[in-house]
Homo-oligomer: A and B are copies of this chain.
Amino acid sequence: MYPEVFPRNAWYVAARSAEVGDGLLSRWILGDPVLLYRTEAGRPVAMVDRCIHRQMPLSLGRRKGDEIECGYHGLRYNTEGICTRVPGATAIPERVRVQVFPLYEEFGLVWIWPGQRDLADPGLIPDHHWYTDPGWATVSGTLHMNARAQLMNENLLDLSHLSFLHADSIGSPEVAEAPVAVRFDDRSVTVHREMPNSSCYPYLTRLTGIDEPIDRLQTAEFIAPSFGITTATSRPHADAGDARACRQKAMHGITPETRTSAHYFWSVSRDYAVDDDSATGYMAQALRTVILQDIAACEAIEHIIAAWEPSYPVELNIKVDAGPLQARRILERMIAAEQKMSDGDAPAWTGVSDAAARAAAQAWAKRNDSQSR
């Protein structure tokens, strides 16, 4: 039911910009170990976190300027992944290298393209400029979950769960009952609901003092393969104008780590009371709790699914699942297209796919091998 793999020819959030610095950050992404760091000039770099010599994670090595020296036998790689030094060796074919992943940094996020390098078009990255816009007050964080990414993507597309899982904060009974309008295209799904004259929810009251019926709009957007944006507007129903309208935009980078685990890069931004630090403090704590509730739900479900594998328990689809089901179809089409492109080879969950680097290393390995006999 859920996709077994994720498309590789796509952008995923690799990190929030603040996470990538001088140090060597190791993070598994789509089944690959990835080393992330920032050059002295400030450019983020991502390469396979695995020395081509004896599989040592490069993140356990050290920086030599912008280069990385393996902590085991000292092979050194530049920011292109090209091996620049093999201790005890003289000539090193330029082709000997580790795979480097295209990165694109914009508005506070570092995006990674795990697939074919020449297809990496930054134009495909969804807009999220408000994340670093001073006109918004933003809270954010990075979390991890032991559940497959798609469970969270679908959580975010079916916000009827607010009425139950988050009843004590951002939920009210009306959310689950409001009809939804679903729109979709090749790459995205949008689920919209309007709740005029609806009861106020605890989080809004705590944040703004509003404690009266509100008009509430909510849009959840899924941008394939694994990114979400949720937009919410709440306005006192009795107000004539927008003076007390509260807008909030949340961002959800759900990056598969392995088949059954994921990183969750999250942020929520508000455009009201932007300078109120106390409100921001409450918001950070309250929304982190909300996300931890979502993660707990996905992990509980993953535990159930695991017991049924390799088959999958029957599930019932209801009206609000129209959005999540469209998201699955988009993913299925993307994966099928990739498989066709690679002549039927499924994108592997593990194993780096840079065929050129692989072949070069094999060729050189063979040569060395015969020399050392």
- Least distance between A89 CB and chain B CB atoms (Å): 6
- Least distance between A158 CB and chain B CB atoms (Å): 7
- Least distance between A82 CB and chain B CB atoms (Å): 13
User: Are A319's CB and B163's CB within 8 A?
Assistant: no
The residues of B that contact A315 with a CB separation of less than 8 Å are 52-55, 361, 365
User: Are A72's CB and B164's CB within 8 A?
Assistant: yes
The residues of B that contact A364 with a CB separation of less than 8 Å are 316
Given A314-B52, A318-B53, residue A74 in contact with residue B358 (CB < 8 A):
no
Copy count, this protein chain: 3
* A291 in contact (CB, < 8 A): no
User: Are A88's CB and B319's CB within 8 A?
Assistant: yes
* A307 in contact (CB, < 8 A): yes
- Least distance between A340 CB and chain B CB atoms (Å): 23
Stretch binding the partner chain, chosen from A3-11, A125-133, A171-179: A171-179
Looking across the interface, which residue of chain B has its beta carbon closest to that of A159? Answer: B73
- Least distance between A321 CB and chain B CB atoms (Å): 6
Alpha-carbon separation in the docked complex, A50 to B308 (Å): 12
Alpha-carbon separation in the docked complex, A164 to B51 (Å): 14
Known: A88-B320, A314-B365. 17 other contacts (CB 8 A): A54-B154, A54-B315, A56-B297, A57-B303, A61-B164, A69-B164, A74-B160, A75-B318, A87-B176, A88-B177, A89-B318, A314-B362, A317-B372, A319-B368, A321-B368, A322-B371, A325-B372
Q: Which of A's residues lie within 8 Å of B, judged by CB?
A: 28, 31, 33, 50, 52-57, 60-61, 69-75, 86-89, 96, 154, 158, 160-161, 163-165, 176-180, 182, 297, 300-301, 303-305, 307-308, 311, 313-322, 325-326, 350-352, 358, 361-362, 364-365, 368-369, 371-373
